Amino acid sequence: MIKIEKEAFYIDGFRKSHSVSTQLLEVMDDFTYALENKNSIDTIYFDLAKAFDTVPHSLLLSKLCKIGIQGNILSWINDYLTNRTFTVRVSNHIFEEKHCTSGVPQGSILGPLLFITFISHLPTYCATPGITLNFLLTILKLIMFLKIELISLLSKFL
Q: Residues 46-104: pLDDT tens digits?
A: 777 778 888 999 999 999 999 999 999 999 999 999 888 889 999 999 999 998 889 88
Dihedral of CA atoms 149, 152, 153, 158 in degrees, nearest 10, equals 160
CA 25, CA 2: separation in Å to the nearest integer?
33
- pLDDT greater at residue 134 or residue 109: 109
Q: How is the chain split among helix, strand and coil, in percent rounded to 5?
A: 45, 25, 30
| Band of pLDDT at residue 6, cut at 50, 70 and 90 | very low
pLDDT for res 101: 85
pLDDT for res 9: 45
Q: Is the pLDDT score of 5 beyond 50?
A: no
Q: Which residues are 147's β-sheet partners?
A: 39
CA 28, CA 117: separation in Å to the nearest integer?
28
pTM of the model: 0.62
In the predicted model, what is the mean pLDDT of the chain? 77
CA 92, CA 52: separation in Å to the nearest integer?
27
Q: Among 39-43, 63-67, 140-144, which is the least confidently predicted range?
A: 140-144
pLDDT for res 126: 67
| Band of pLDDT at residue 150, cut at 50, 70 and 90 | low
Strands 11-12 and 131-136: parallel
